Amino acid sequence: MTAITEFVSYEAEGDVGVITVDSPPVNALSFGVRAGIKGGIEAADADSSVSSVVLVCAGRTFIAGADITEFGKPPKAPSLHEVIAAMEACSKPVVAAIHGTALGGGLETALGCHYRVASPTAKVGLPEVKLGILPGAGGTQRLPRVVGVPMALEMITSGNPIGASKALEVGLVSEIIDGDLKEGAKAFARKVVADGLPLVKISDQNDKLKEARENPGMFADFRKSIARKTRNFEAPENCIKAIEAAVELPFPDGLKRERELFMELMQGEQSFSQRYFFFAERQAAKIPDVPKDTPLIDIKTAGIIGAGTMGGGIAMNFLQAGIPVIIVETTQEALDNGIAIIKKNYAATVSKGRMSQDAMDKCLSLLTGTTNLEDIKDVDIVIEAVFENMDVKKEIFTKLDAICKDGAILATNTSTLDINEIGAVTKRPEYVIGLHFFSPANVMKLLEEVRTDKTSKSVMATCMALAKRIGKVPAMVGVCDGFVGNRILHRRAEQATQLILEGALPQDVDRVLYDFGLPMGPFAMADLAGNDVSWRIRQGKGQKSPIADAICELGRFGQKTGAGYYLYKDGSRTPTPDPVVEDIILKASKDAGIERREISDEEILKRCIYPMINEGAKILEEGIATRASDIDVIWVYGYGWPIYRGGPMRYADYIGLDNVVKTLREYQEQYGDYWKPAPLLERLASEGKTFQDA
C-alpha cells in the first residue's frame, strides 16, 4: 500500500487499483484528501498492473463534503474541480464505492467517477443549500444530467438526501452491494472492463436535459412552488439559476456560471451565518465540564406523566426512536383523549405520505397507557409534563422518587419553574434534570436541557445523547426564570406591548418581525399559543397588563376562540386586524397618559431585538448558557429565528457590538435603565470583540 498523502492511500489489489480515503470523522475534502485522490488517480493511471479503479472510504462514511473548516481560507491546489476532472479523464474506469453519506462535494466527487455503487444503507445528496451555498464543484451541472431537471431542482434546493434504493431507481448508482462494499465494487469494476462498458463522463450526457429544454416554464413553476418555504433565503434562487445554466449552456460554460453563483453566495452574510450555525449546533452538544467518555445510563424505556399536548408530543419522539413509552394520566378519560390525539397525529402523517402505515403501527405498539403511577416503577427515564404549578410538580416528584427504581432519571418539562426546588423534594437530586420540549413537541427540533446545581455528569451526558437519539438538537443551560429561550422571549414581549402602547399596532410589530424572517410576530404567536395561558399566570402572580388583560376579558384567547389580537374568521388561521383591538389599545394608551406617535419600522425592529441581545449577554455573564452560540441554537430551533441570520447573538456580532451598545445607551437616556447595556456587552464592544470571543 502506498500512502499518497496523510489521508489517502493507493494499492493495486489484483487488477483493480484501490484508492482509500481515511480522514476521520467524515472524510471531508481537505487539501490532503483532494491531493490524495488526485495522486491516487495518477498512480492508478500509470500502474500497468490494474485495468480499473475503485474509490472507497474508511470509517463511518464516504466523503461527506468539502471541508467546511477550510471555507474562507486561501484556496490550495488541487481544487475539487481539478480532482474531479482528473477522475473523469482517467483512462481506466473509476468506480465510487459509497457507504454512509455521500454529501455535497462527496457526491460531486462520486459524480466525477464513471460509475457508482452503494451499500444498501447509503444516502446521497447535495445539502449545500443548508449552508447557504450551492454545490460548487459541478453538482448543479452533473446531477440534472443524471436524474433530470425536476429531481435535481428538488434535491439541490431542499438539500435533502435520497436513499440507495431511490438512487438506484433514478440511475444515480448502478448497483447496490449487499455484503463487503469494497469487494463488490471491485467485482463491478472488473465487470465494466470485461463487458467493455464505456467510461461514462456525465459532463458529456445531455439526454436528461431535453425535457427542460423543451419546457423552460418548468423553472418558473418550480420557483413558485418553493417560494413560501424559501422566503428571504438567497441560496435556493442561485441553485435554480445554476441548474438553468446547465440546461441553457454547454457544460464548461455552465460550470463557470455555477462558480460565479457559488462565489456570490459564499461571500454573503447568509452563508456565513448558516455555516456558523452548522458548527454552533454541533458545539451545543458538548458540555465543557462533562468529559466525552462520561458513562451513560442505558435508556430502554420511558415514562411520561401527562397525556396533554406536550406529554403526547414528547411520547411520539420516543416511540419514533423505537423506545417503549408508558404514558400516565390521572383519569381514564384524559388518558383515552391523549392517546386518541397521538393516533390522530400519526394518521395525519401517514395520510400526507410522510410515514408508512407499518411505521405507525410499530410506534403505537410501543405505547402503553395507565392511570396507575406505580406502573412506571421500572422505566429508565420519566418526563413529567403536567401543568406549570410548583406544588403539583413537587407532589409528583415526591411520588416518583418513592416509586421509580434506583438510577432512573427524573426529568421535568417545566418551562419556568425552579428545578433546584423540584429536585430538592427527592432523595436523588443528582438524577433530576429539566428537559424542556417546545410545542409541538413532535415537530420542534430544540430540546433545552436544564441542569440543576446537583444534576450528575452522567445524567447530563445521557440526556444529551438521548436528545440525538430522538431526533432533537440539545442545548444545556442552567436554572433561571424562563431558562434561556423564554427569558429572552420575555424581553421581546415586553417591548412589543410597550410599542403598541406608544403608537404601533399589533400588525405593525408582527409585520416587521415577519419581514425580518421570523415565522410570525409576537402577537400572532400569542394568538396561536393561547392568550389565556399567560393571563392565568399573571393572575396567579397578581400582575396586570392592560391590553392583554382586556383582550382576555372579552374571551379572545386567540386562534382557538376565533379572536385574540386579531380576528380569525370561520376557523381561518389568517390573522385579520380588528378595530375592536385598536380601540382597546387606544384606550390603554390614553389611560396611561401616553400620546401616541408614529413609530418607524426600524425602531420597532431595534426595540424588539436589542433587549433580546442584551438579555443574552446577561445570560452568558451569569453562566446560564455556556456559549453565545448555544443561545443562537435555542432561538433558531425553538423559536424559528431565521437561520440565515445565525441567531440573535450572531446577528449582534454582524451589526457590531459597538453599534448595539450605542443604540442601547440612546434608549437608556430616553426610556431609563431597563436599557442599560449588560457589562459583558459593554466590555466586548469596547475591546472591539464579538460574542464569539466571549
Nearer to ligand 3H9 by C-beta: 36 or 65?
Answer: 65
Among 35, 117, 131, 447, binds ligand 3H9 (CB under 6 A): 131
Q: Which of 640, 638, 615 is nearest to 628 (CA)?
A: 615
x-or-dash pattern for ligand 3H9, window 13-32, by CB under 6 A?
------------xx-x----
Among 43, 57, 64, 245, binds ligand 3H9 (CB under 6 A): 64
Give whole-number Cα distances, 87 to 21, 99, 115, 254, in Å.
Answer: 15, 19, 11, 19
Residue 664: which H helix or E strand, with range? Answer: helix 657-671
Please check whether residue 261 is in contact with residue 134, taking contact to mean a CB–CB distance below 8 angstroms.
yes
Contact call for residue 288 and ligand 3H9 (CB under 6 A): no
Q: Is residue 265 within the footprint of ligand 3H9 (CB under 6 A)?
A: no
Among 40, 93, 135, 677, binds ligand 3H9 (CB under 6 A): 135
Number of residues lying near ligand 3H9 (CB under 6 A): 25
Cα–Cα distance measured from residue 326 to residue 366, given in angstroms and rounded to the nearest whole number: 8
- Is residue 111 a contact residue for ligand 3H9 (CB under 6 A)? no
320 binds ligand 3H9 (CB under 6 A): no
Nearer to ligand 3H9, 230 or 413 (CB): 230
Edge-to-edge strand ranges of the sheet holding 115-118: 2-3, 8-13, 16-21, 52-57, 94-98, 115-118, 175-176
CB nearer ligand 3H9, residue 104 or residue 648: 104
Q: How far is the CB of 28 from ligand 3H9 (least distance, A)?
A: 4
Q: Binding string, 267-286, against ligand 3H9, x = CB under 6 A? A: ------------x--x----
User: Between residues 108 and 384, which has the closer beta carbon with respect to ligand 3H9?
Assistant: 108
Task: Indicate the helix (H) or strand (E) that contains 547.
Answer: helix 546-553
Stretch that binds ligand 3H9, among 32-40, 57-65, 384-392, 413-421 (CB under 6 A): 57-65
Residue 113 or residue 382: which is nearer to ligand 3H9 going by CB?
A: 113
For residues 434 and 684, give the distance between their C-alpha atoms in angstroms, rounded to a whole number. Answer: 31
Contact segment (CB under 6 A) with ligand 3H9 among 43-51, 127-135, 575-583, 664-672 equals: 127-135
Strand 473-478 relative to strand 8-13: parallel, antiparallel, unpaired? unpaired
* Binds ligand 3H9 by CB under 6 A, chosen from 105, 132, 313, 564: 105
Q: Which stretch binds ligand 3H9 (CB under 6 A): 98-106, 477-485, 530-538, 676-684?
A: 98-106
Q: How far, CA to CA in Å, does 173 sit from each of 80, 102, 163, 193, 264?
A: 21, 12, 11, 17, 31
- The residue range among 60-68, 179-187, 374-382, 391-399 that interacts with ligand 3H9, by the rule CB under 6 A, is 60-68
User: Is residue 118 part of the contact set for ligand 3H9 (CB under 6 A)?
Assistant: no
* Closer of 57 and 367 to ligand 3H9 (Cβ): 57
Nearest to 404 by CA among 424, 427, 385: 427
The backbone torsions φ and ψ at residue 590, rounded to the nearest 5 degrees and listed phi first, read -60, -50
Known catalytic residues are 108, 128
Determine the straight-line distance between the first and last CA of the chain, rounded to whole angstroms. 47
Closest CB to ligand 3H9 among residues 65, 575? 65
Q: Which is nearer to ligand 3H9, 127 or 313 (CB)?
A: 127
Does 254 contact ligand 3H9 by CB under 6 A? no
Give min distance, CB of 275 to ligand 3H9, in A. Answer: 9
Q: Which whole-number Å values give the CA distances from 683 to 155, 466, 620, 621, 661, in the listed order?
A: 45, 37, 13, 11, 10
Q: Which region among 128-136, 181-189, 340-348, 672-680 touches ligand 3H9 (by CB under 6 A)?
A: 128-136
Q: Return the exposure string of 619-654: e unless at least 16 CB atoms fall within 10 Å of the residue's CB, then b.
A: bbeeebbbbbbbbbbbbbbbbebbbbbbbbbbbbbe
Name the segment binding ligand 3H9 (CB under 6 A); options: 130-138, 459-467, 511-519, 540-548: 130-138
CA angle 62, 65, 261 (to 5 degrees): 150
Bin 306: left if φ > 0, else alpha if -120 < ψ < 50, else beta.
left
List of residues 6+ apart from 167 with CB closer than 8 A: 116, 118, 122, 124, 173
Q: Are 411 and 455 in contact (CB under 8 A)?
A: no
Per CB under 6 A, contacts with ligand 3H9 among 77-96 are 80
CA–chain centroid gap for 255, Å, is 30
CA–CA dist 405, 197 (Å, integer): 64
* Contacts to ligand 3H9 by CB under 6 A: 25-26, 28, 61, 64-69, 80, 101, 103-105, 108, 127-128, 131, 135-137, 139, 279, 282
